[in-house]
Amino acid sequence: MDNLALIGMASIFAAGLTMAIGSIGPALGQGRAVAQALTAIAQQPDEANSISRTLFIGLAMVESTGIYCFVIAIILLFANPFWTALLSRAGQ
């Protein structure tokens, strides 16, 4: 097996691992945030608008972690700097 195939396999494995681990954290965080917001709204129904607004801002920030992991996985799959370095070194 040549070096290019090894880099390809490692990149695919790393991209899958990045998405697996990177999606667990935001999913748990969003679930906890929604549960706490619903509890807060049940205790103080008059503040529902304020709690909902803060909840949506917090959910957007939590979701950004998953989006960053997705971007890293896409870079590993399609714009891998290791492939270009290996190909340029092999061309010499």
The answer to the question of residue 15 being in a domain is no
pLDDT at 92: 54
Q: Is 28 buried (19+), middle (13-18) or exposed (0-12) by CB count in 10 A?
A: exposed
In a domain, 12, yes or no: no
Share of the chain above pLDDT 90, in %: 39
Residue 6 lies in a domain: no
CB-side neighbour CA atoms (13 Å) of 87: 7
In a domain, 9, yes or no: no
Query: Does 17 fall in a domain?
Result: no
Q: Which amino acid is at 52?
A: S
Residue numbers of the domain that contains 82: 30-87
**What CATH number did the domain enclosing 42 receive?**
1.20.20.10
Say how many domains are in the chain.
Answer: 1
Angle between helices 3-43 and 48-78 (to 10 degrees): 180
Q: Does some domain include residue 49?
A: yes
Q: Choose between 19 and 2: higher pLDDT.
A: 19
43 occurs within a structural domain: yes
